[in-house]
Structure 1
Amino acid sequence: MLLYRIAVVVTTSTALVWITSAAAPTVAGGTPLLADAMACDLAQYKSSPGLAAAMDQNVLAVAWTGQNGSEMRARYAIDGGQPIVRDLAVRRTGGQWVTLGQNLTPEYRVVSGIRRMSTQQADPLKAAGVELTPDVIARNRWYAFWDAPLVMKPGREIIGPPRRESDIKRASSSFHTTSCSVKTDGAALEVTFPGLSMGIFSGDLRFTAYRGTNLLRMDALAKTNDEWIAYKYDAGLKGFSTGLTPRVAWRDTGGQPQHYEFGGVIQNTSAPVKAQNRLLVAEGKGASLGTFTPPHTFFFTREVDTNLGYVWYRKDSATTFGIGIRQADAEETPQYADNFALFNAPPGTVQHMGVYFYASPDSAEGTRQAVLRFTHGDEFKPLPGYKTFVNHFHLRFTERLRASGSFDTPMQDLAAMKALGLNIIGLSDFHGDMHPNDPGPLRFKDQKDYFETTRRASDTDFLVTPWEEPSAYFGGHYNIIFPKRNVYWSKVRQPGQPFTEIDPMYGKVYHTGDAADVQQMMDAEGAYWYHAHPRTKGTTGYPDLIFDKPYVKNDRYLGVAFKPGMGMDLSEAKICEWRCFDSTDTMNNLYTGSGLKPKYIIADIDTYRKGPEDDTYANFPVNYLKLARTPRADDDVSPVLAALRDGHFFVTTGEILITNYSIAGTGATRSIGADVEWTFPLSFVEVVWGDGKKVDRQMISATDLGAFGTKHFAIPFDATGKSWVRFAVWDTAGNGAFVQPAWLNAPRTTTDEGAQRKQ
């Protein structure tokens, strides 16, 4: 009995065409399934080669071309008000369809608490004389770092009333829908179902298919009207059959293959899996389906990167199971229990709670390898003419090597960083370790050992530098970076003590007692500094509070760190927009016409101990410096600092690379040229500029650019009245890359193969 006729996609030599075929899916025992009446609005749908949708008797069928000659098909219906994936299938071109799942039910679980400002944020404001008015608290509350809304035990102090169990609300998704809508957006096709409810959240469910790739993204597009909500979510699909996909497979945190064949008992709760690369694969006969998190936006900043189990499976019956992604309720390491901030959900903002699936006509391992291409295997891809650099690791490196008995002991932290593809790393000892505030004798001995341990840890194409987060005198927390390895200095200058002196053991040493001393030392040694985690943590209120200070209006001050994840809001298309980009854009407007070089945004980590088993890639943005080679251990590292000071670098989460960039033209007629390569389908590019008073931008849709592409962007713009400009690229997973701001009334530079020359 044929209950409905359904559109199916086949390939001809010229295009995808629709035919009608296929019997209805059935429940156990062979009973055919009936679909609810479903009205589907296709007004915004545009048929295009390789991406098609059609309705037939209450079922919506979507088909699209994938990678390596594969094709995908998803059929959607509604059962009892619940959106259903009637079936999900994949095939090689010209081959037979392999069904991966039938009658799959989307499921979401949300846990929320109340966002509170921390005393860590309040302290620098109070020290600067800022009164903690309700407006000041409201302005900073969303950007708390030391906040754990789901942890009730006493811990770090917060501003406001203590936490209560009644703050915490848990809800699962339910639906009451009778319709859907289909929209074509470039190379993407969106299928949206209204009627989603999840406790204090409500909204829509959306599936997005992307032409040219085997990706299928599922989003809960939900908002709340409650105030000060912090939340986390789990997401997935249930209803998979062990007859079609009899096992799930993954790599453990040590990289060893593991699997589960659903031979155990029925599970009442999801089984969290600590899987390498945040990836779980359901394997069938001739095809597999991977599920994984968005690489970066799924993660709010923590002090450590231990894998908390970001994917799950659950045996729901003797023959069915579910899979998906998850976040833990709390940190596992007791030392950091008060640091688990979750996502922000300001009232009325539409949160995009996404999960990815990847269908492949291949084995579990083949599917795993295909998914890893999106993050270059969780590594920063080598790029000719560039070296990767990131700073701000609090590893207690020197203390630990002293305790090991040898300065030559290989450290697991560095093994993890090498595995990421990092070439240059800046450590930040003297952060709760050794003697950071000693006036000289103890600190200088510590520095001598610090210089030597980092020297010995360096290798060919791998430089370890002994830098510091001194956070003294300027205001806020900051990193100071020196071109030479052996600059001895203290943060104490006692009465009558000279600024510099010759120590019989250490040679020239500096004693600094105020901002002027630190500035004079940096001038003498060719050092630079930039603010860590702007506008939050110990830098709350900064750099804003010192915009007018001479040491900020100085070319030795580079700008601020790009440290996303503190105040992560999934309604935003870009990460770290207010803390990072707005603070720098504001400074460049203020300093227009001053003769200063632009202020920049530098990828920065601010983290603690690491190991190869940790999930480090998700929380590591990186700088690609325009350098011919990595300096050796005994080299002066001035080329690294010069690349930073002159803006000869771009920042990326890893998936997007800006291989060449230039600003051409004269007068009002200018154009940006950029060569870009990417993995996830793109979302948009933007040109941002300032005129000394306000910031404006041109956002250019790039949704027609599918996965794994390259393109030369040539974007003309009118430079009339504009003082500076910058360029950025963002993809559909929330990953990004950007170049540094450049003055339009000064000699311009380029990061192409002839870089570091004036145009």
Structure 2
Amino acid sequence: MKHWITGLSLAVFSGIGAAQTMNCNMQQYKGIDGVKAEASPNSVELVWQGEAGAQLRAQFALRDGQPVVQELAAKKSDGPWIVLGKDLTPQFEVTTGRRRISSVELDVLKKLHKDTPETIDQYKWNVFWDAPLAVPGTQRMSGPPRSADEIARASVSYKSDNCRVKTEGARVSVLFNGLTLGLFAGDLQFTVYKGSNLLRQEALAKTEAPSVAYIYKAGLKGFGIANDTKLVWRDTAQVWQQQQFGGAPNQQPVNIRARNRLEVLEVGVGSPNPGALAILPPPHKFFFARENEVNLGYVYYRKDNDTSFSLGVMQPERGEGYAPWGVSDEVWKRRVNVAREQVENYALYNAPPGTVQRMAVYYYLSPTSDHPAQRAVLAYTHDDVYKPVPGFKTVTGHFHLELNEMARDRDTLDFSPSWVPVFRGLGINIVYLGDFHDDSDTNDSGPKKFSEEKLYFDAAQRLSDRNFLVMPEEEANAFLGGHWYLMTPKPIYFSHAQPPTGNQPFEEDDPVYGHVYHLRSSDDVLKMVNQEKAILWTAHPRTKSSALYPETYKDKDFFLSDRFIGASWESLPVDLSQARLCPERCFGMNDEMSNWAPKPKFMLAEGDTYMKRPDDETYPILAINYLKLDKVPLYNESWSPIVEGIHDGNFFGTTGEILFHDWGIEGSGTKSTYTASIEYTFPLEFAELVWSDGSKVDRQIIDLTDTTPFGTKTFRIPFDATGKKWVRFAVWDSAGDGAWLQPVTPK
């Protein structure tokens, strides 16, 4: 095949513009079995093998500098081609604001005398309490009020004059130059994957402007309205809904609160050969951390006129708080205020200057009707459920769900909170809660807090079951600095407030509550943790009230103790230029912690969210842990198998699409081999073996772009363990999902 294709112009297509000659560079294209690219003087066509024998086709062209999707089509192995869309224009919109550090982080920096311009600029990118689109601002915002001119909205424009086709492993991409999107500029890329029905469209664009935070919309415009066309989705109650575009045109995209972040266009409704095109965002990479998982509506449609419509994915410009609750007026008003405050943490994506942001949308091409297509898409996230793995139990936590406040407000222990079916539906076995945060009385030194702890413990016991354990734990946040979490192997009564007399003993036997602790210092915390065989860790490190932690106490006895296991993992911040979720604040900090301490430290995946309901979209915002555990302890049994399993690092974190089955290190010294076995859904991107000698961190990257979807893989990676203090392993897929093992000390 010639590497450069030129030829005659295309004909003029109504509504899209005049065709132009394609100068399509094929030098990076290599033919592979299952994916074929062909360039002609007027188009580029990709034909590839999908799932269950399906064949897929996508054709691209240029018209007046505008990239065009000439056709999307699918067919069964023995069936006719079904056209899913013709003459479609790739659409992007972006809303940008100014990133600022919040008053929460800034107050910590000031307290520790670290509020230099350089440190502020560094920590603003880790901000949680920021809402760049809120004018004039929120109570946690630092600096002067925001103004409307900080916010800009823009739609994509193109001045494309060439394309490029490239092969990477088992995938082929088509790139068009000349994309401009407000502050951003770069390329448009389409990618197909051997063995998958997915087509990924993305803007690869960067900005040189400082302090940019943004959200985007991405989709296709130009779908034809016909009698046999309908758009379907499941609503938040999982009831099927549909739109057939019989109403008036829309001025703006209509965001749909669709279950599973998924809408499906069916063509040829009622015919012998219907087809479907599903539209969805990346499962986890698309989402940034908030304090709840309220479904804001992440897919859209827009009826553009009486003959055509657009479809795509989007982030709305405003967050929402959870649905308030409360029987009494006092509790109702408090929960309304908490819910209203949650609009303050809508931080958007980071776009540091010079970074190539990947604004993506997926299309799933199917030669079936809408419902089979929906089921096929959901297989990539195991139906938004954390799939059981033999020998493991699923663990998640750091949820401020106000269980004992709810029990007091209802005046009963016999109720089922709205969050219980959420966790059960996700396939969670063990949930550790975080009451005594914005509820209850953490400032009481004894009787009142102990009575509230008693209610907390009893309510958790009522909600626990044979394979579902609710652990009543606490984010204690006293004496150590920053925020920290405590997990105990049984219910323990303790206070950490100074009594009026100031003469309470460290521990005593209370006639009502039995053995109780009164903590007054970090030494007391460590003493109680050692006596009870509990564990503790830094909550949300290097952000929120833990800015500059854990490094500020890295030399303290409690941090150096083996009962201090490390820190929590949460996907914050989100920078769409990064191949990993939370690479610096989470994994980079984990590497540093493991170098500071005598033994490696770990990262425990957490939620750090508030009240939740079954109609929320919890799965995409959450990552969890799989703990090596044969059975879930009953509530009245010891929880030590959980606590010690985490203490020993016998768990992995995951977004859910990649699952480890086993891992370990064979041999020693120069003859060491790291082994691991996984299953996965999306085609993989890379794996990495990361290690350190105690000061310098290095890694080996294993390219996995030759993988096809829905597979298993066993790794055997030779490495030299000589002089290495620790080593860890992680795997990431093409959608930005991942799974990671804890660092261990090799022999």
Partners of 1:464 and 1:157 in 2: CA distance: 32
Partners of 1:487 and 1:631 in 2: CA distance: 20
Aligned to 1:224: 207
Letter in 1 for 2:556: K
Question: What is the aligned counterpart of 2:295 among 303, 307, 330?
Answer: 307
Question: What is the aligned counterpart of 1:331 among 311, 314, 319?
Answer: 319
- Structure 2 residue 525 is matched with structure 1 residue 518: yes
Distance apart, 1:419 and its partner CA: 0.5
Partners of 2:312 and 2:596 in 1: CA distance: 47
Question: What is the aligned counterpart of 1:729 among 709, 728, 731?
Answer: 731
Letter in 2 for 1:414: V
Q: Is the 8 A contact 1:146 1:156 kept in 2?
A: no
Root mean square deviation, CA, Å: 1.5
Distance apart, 1:26 and its partner CA: 9.0
- Structure 2 residue 79 is matched with structure 1 residue 95: yes
Instruction: State the identity as a percent.
Output: 45
Ranges in structure 1 where 5+ consecutive residues have no aligned partner: 1-23, 746-759
Distance apart, 1:245 and its partner CA: 6.0
Question: What is the aligned counterpart of 1:267 among 245, 250, 270?
Answer: 250
- Structure 2 residue 383 is matched with structure 1 residue 380: no
Aligned to 1:44: 28
Partners of 2:254 and 2:156 in 1: CA distance: 19
TM-score when scaled to structure 2?
0.94
Q: Deviations over 1:44-97 (max 9, x none)?
A: 100111101011122101110000110100010001100000001000012100
- Structure 2 residue 545 is matched with structure 1 residue 561: no
Q: Which moved more, 1:550-559 or 1:129-138?
A: 129-138
Letter in 1 for 2:450: F
Partners of 1:435 and 1:497 in 2: CA distance: 18
Q: Is the 8 A contact 2:199 2:363 kept in 1?
A: yes
Distance apart, 1:582 and its partner CA: 1.2
Q: Deviations over 1:487-544 (max 9, x none)?
A: 3444436522211111111111111111001111111111110111110001000001
Q: Is the 8 A contact 1:244 1:284 kept in 2?
A: no
Matches within 5 A, 1:350-389: 350-389=356-395
The structure-2 alpha-carbon separation of the partners of 1:524 and 1:489, relative to structure 1 and needing over 3 Å to count, comes to farther
Aligned to 1:184: 167
Q: Secondary structure at the match of 2:287?
A: coil
Distance apart, 1:551 and its partner CA: 0.5
- Structure 2 residue 671 is matched with structure 1 residue 669: yes
The structure-2 alpha-carbon separation of the partners of 1:633 and 1:26, relative to structure 1 and needing over 3 Å to count, comes to farther
Q: Is the 8 A contact 1:726 1:742 kept in 2?
A: yes
Q: Is the 8 A contact 2:13 2:19 kept in 1?
A: no
Distance apart, 1:159 and its partner CA: 2.9
Letter in 2 for 1:118: S
Q: Deviations over 1:717-737 (max 9, x none)?
A: 122322210000000110000
Q: Secondary structure at the match of 1:140?
A: helix
Distance apart, 1:34 and its partner CA: 6.0
Letter in 1 for 2:288: F
Question: What is the aligned counterpart of 2:698 among 696, 707, 710?
Answer: 696
Q: Secondary structure at the match of 1:642?
A: helix
Q: Is the 8 A contact 2:258 2:298 kept in 1?
A: yes
Matches within 5 A, 1:183-332: 183-243=166-226, 246-285=229-268, 286-332=274-320
Q: Deviations over 1:116-143 (max 9, x none)?
A: 001111222333x223111110110111
- Structure 2 residue 586 is matched with structure 1 residue 584: no
Q: Is the 8 A contact 2:665 2:675 kept in 1?
A: yes
Partners of 2:244 and 2:281 in 1: CA distance: 23
Partners of 2:11 and 2:53 in 1: CA distance: 26
Distance apart, 1:32 and its partner CA: 12
Q: Is the 8 A contact 2:386 2:427 kept in 1?
A: yes
Aligned to 2:133: 150
Q: Secondary structure at the match of 1:582?
A: helix
The structure-2 alpha-carbon separation of the partners of 1:32 and 1:208, relative to structure 1 and needing over 3 Å to count, comes to closer
Q: Secondary structure at the match of 2:659?
A: strand
Q: Is the 8 A contact 1:122 1:132 kept in 2?
A: yes
Aligned to 2:515: 508
Partners of 2:463 and 2:408 in 1: CA distance: 13
Q: Secondary structure at the match of 1:337?
A: helix
Letter in 1 for 2:105: Q
Distance apart, 1:244 and its partner CA: 8.3
Q: Is the 8 A contact 1:112 1:231 kept in 2?
A: yes
Q: Is the 8 A contact 1:393 1:608 kept in 2?
A: yes
Q: Is the 8 A contact 1:531 1:560 kept in 2?
A: yes
Aligned to 1:21: none
Partners of 1:50 and 1:492 in 2: CA distance: 69
The structure-2 alpha-carbon separation of the partners of 1:661 and 1:245, relative to structure 1 and needing over 3 Å to count, comes to farther
Aligned to 1:617: 619
The structure-2 alpha-carbon separation of the partners of 1:229 and 1:34, relative to structure 1 and needing over 3 Å to count, comes to closer
TM-score when scaled to structure 1?
0.92
Distance apart, 1:158 and its partner CA: 2.7
Ranges in structure 2 where 5+ consecutive residues have no aligned partner: 1-9, 269-273, 322-339
Q: Is the 8 A contact 1:239 1:322 kept in 2?
A: yes
Partners of 2:85 and 2:503 in 1: CA distance: 78
Partners of 1:729 and 1:506 in 2: CA distance: 47
Partners of 2:190 and 2:382 in 1: CA distance: 25
Q: Is the 8 A contact 1:443 1:490 kept in 2?
A: no
Partners of 1:687 and 1:485 in 2: CA distance: 38
Q: Is the 8 A contact 1:35 1:59 kept in 2?
A: no
- Structure 2 residue 396 is matched with structure 1 residue 390: yes
- Structure 2 residue 450 is matched with structure 1 residue 444: yes
Partners of 2:12 and 2:83 in 1: CA distance: 13
Q: Is the 8 A contact 1:25 1:86 kept in 2?
A: no
Letter in 2 for 1:504: P
Aligned to 1:480: 486
Q: Is the 8 A contact 2:17 2:64 kept in 1?
A: no
Letter in 2 for 1:107: Q
Q: Is the 8 A contact 2:18 2:64 kept in 1?
A: no
Partners of 2:85 and 2:498 in 1: CA distance: 67
Partners of 1:37 and 1:289 in 2: CA distance: 29
Distance apart, 1:441 and its partner CA: 1.1
Aligned to 1:57: 41
Question: What is the aligned counterpart of 1:644 among 643, 646, 651?
Answer: 646
Question: What is the aligned counterpart of 2:714 among 697, 702, 712?
Answer: 712
The structure-2 alpha-carbon separation of the partners of 1:76 and 1:668, relative to structure 1 and needing over 3 Å to count, comes to same
Letter in 2 for 1:70: A
The structure-2 alpha-carbon separation of the partners of 1:68 and 1:506, relative to structure 1 and needing over 3 Å to count, comes to same
Aligned to 1:75: 59
Question: What is the aligned counterpart of 1:166 among 125, 145, 149?
Answer: 149
Partners of 1:187 and 1:242 in 2: CA distance: 35
- Structure 2 residue 69 is matched with structure 1 residue 85: yes
Letter in 2 for 1:74: A
Letter in 2 for 1:270: P
Q: Is the 8 A contact 1:106 1:237 kept in 2?
A: yes
Q: Deviations over 1:373-398 (max 9, x none)?
A: 01100110011110000111101111
Q: Is the 8 A contact 2:418 2:612 kept in 1?
A: yes
The structure-2 alpha-carbon separation of the partners of 1:224 and 1:82, relative to structure 1 and needing over 3 Å to count, comes to same
